A and B are shown apart, each in its own frame.
Chain A
Amino acid sequence: MSDYLTCREMIDFLMDYVNGELDAATRHEFDRHLKVCPPCVDFLQNYRQTVDLVRASGREPDAPDREKLPEELVQAILRAQKRTHD
């Protein structure tokens, strides 16, 4: 591997880096780049935060899944189920 990785190469490797799937040599180059490139440090942190936010949004403590279904939807489903059974 020649000299430092570029930012473009860093971002290509980012997911494998986060997943711990980079080979030792590439990981070493990755870490070397991070020491001299604040924008890539910020990008890496943003990327990790993005994944955390997506996962948290899926847990949805505030999600409207405690709401009742609209009554017309319930009735439509019940009618459709009855038709399939008749």
Chain B
Amino acid sequence: MTRQDDRSTDPAAGETAAEEQALLERLRRGEEGAFEELVRSHGPRLLTVIRRILPQEEDARDALQDALLSVSRAVGGFAGESRLSTWLHRIAVNAALMRLRTQRRQEPPIASLLPRFQENGHMAEPAGRWEPPPEAALERSETHRFVRESISELPDSYRIVLTLRDIEEWDTRETAEFLGIEPNAVKVRLHRARQALRTILDKRFRA
């Protein structure tokens, strides 16, 4: 969970550790207004996290409600072994995944987004260099938006593995356990998801 820990120590990322601790204690005491403060101060960030898993806004909002109600129920038992923001992040991801599980639908095959090969094993459509290198545009919001939209085009089962492994930085084992699949299936899906995303991004970045 490196990513969340990094965020939680970044003062620019939100409340300070002391502010979070103070809010946590008010929540534990059931203090009037504490839950509302939690919703208003942490809700927007959690909704952003949830949208990566549930791109449909209505689903994302439902999952945010699920997550915050879970927090309300569980905060008394939260031992504070991590920062409040880190704990909330994990609960939001779980709530989004749980909701996704209940709405599993037929998804389009990924094959059309994977590289194709000739009989001799050479690429049917050779890859080309990306120009200008996307690194140059890495910090531009337009690039981020395009990448996020491109990720949302992937079939759910691939998008989720890509999100958990490459954005949430879960390891293969915990991703496999949560999704109820074999670790090797996680690796296969991740590799295919990256290749498929490469195909989508290629339309924009190809020289």
Query: Hey, which bits of chain A sit against chain B, CB under 8 A?
Result: 6-9, 11, 14-15, 38-40, 42-43, 45-47, 49-58, 60-69, 73-74, 76-78, 80-81, 84-85
Q: Are B68 and A77 in contact (CB under 8 A)?
A: yes
Cβ of B76 within 8 Å of any chain A Cβ, yes or no, is: no
Q: Are B138 and A52 in contact (CB under 8 A)?
A: yes
15 pairs, A vs B, C-beta closer than 8 Å:
A38-B126, A45-B129, A45-B130, A46-B130, A51-B166, A52-B138, A56-B138, A58-B168, A62-B145, A63-B144, A65-B48, A67-B44, A73-B43, A73-B61, A73-B65
**Chain B neighbourhood of A63, CB < 8 A:** 48, 144
Given contacts A56-B138, A74-B36, A42 and B129 within 8 Å (CB-CB): yes
The docked-state distance in angstroms from the alpha carbon of A7 to that of B188 is 17
Cβ of B162 within 8 Å of any chain A Cβ, yes or no, is: yes
The docked-state distance in angstroms from the alpha carbon of A61 to that of B72 is 29
Given contacts A8-B121, A49-B130, A60-B144, A65 and B195 within 8 Å (CB-CB): no
Q: Are B65 and A80 in contact (CB under 8 A)?
A: yes
Chain A CB count within 10 A is highest, among B64, B120, B127, B143, for: B127
Query: Hey, which bits of chain B sit against chain A, CB under 8 A?
Result: 3, 35-36, 39-40, 43-45, 47-48, 52, 61, 64-65, 68-69, 72-73, 115, 117, 120-123, 126-130, 133-135, 138-139, 141, 143-145, 147-148, 151, 162, 166-168, 187, 190-191, 194-195, 197-198, 201-202, 205
Q: Are A57 and B194 in contact (CB under 8 A)?
A: no
Q: Are A69 and B40 in contact (CB under 8 A)?
A: yes
Q: Are A50 and B198 in contact (CB under 8 A)?
A: yes
Q: Are B39 and A6 in contact (CB under 8 A)?
A: no
Given contacts A6-B121, A64-B48, A76-B65, A84 and B166 within 8 Å (CB-CB): no
- Partner among A15, A54, A64, A66 whose Cβ is within 8 Å of the Cβ of B167: A54
The docked-state distance in angstroms from the alpha carbon of A48 to that of B141 is 20
Q: Are B167 and A81 in contact (CB under 8 A)?
A: no
Q: Are B166 and A8 in contact (CB under 8 A)?
A: no
14 extra interchain contacts, Cβ-Cβ under 8 A, other than A7-B123, A43-B127, A49-B205?
A7-B117, A11-B115, A42-B129, A43-B123, A46-B127, A50-B194, A54-B197, A57-B147, A69-B39, A69-B47, A73-B65, A74-B39, A81-B35, A84-B73
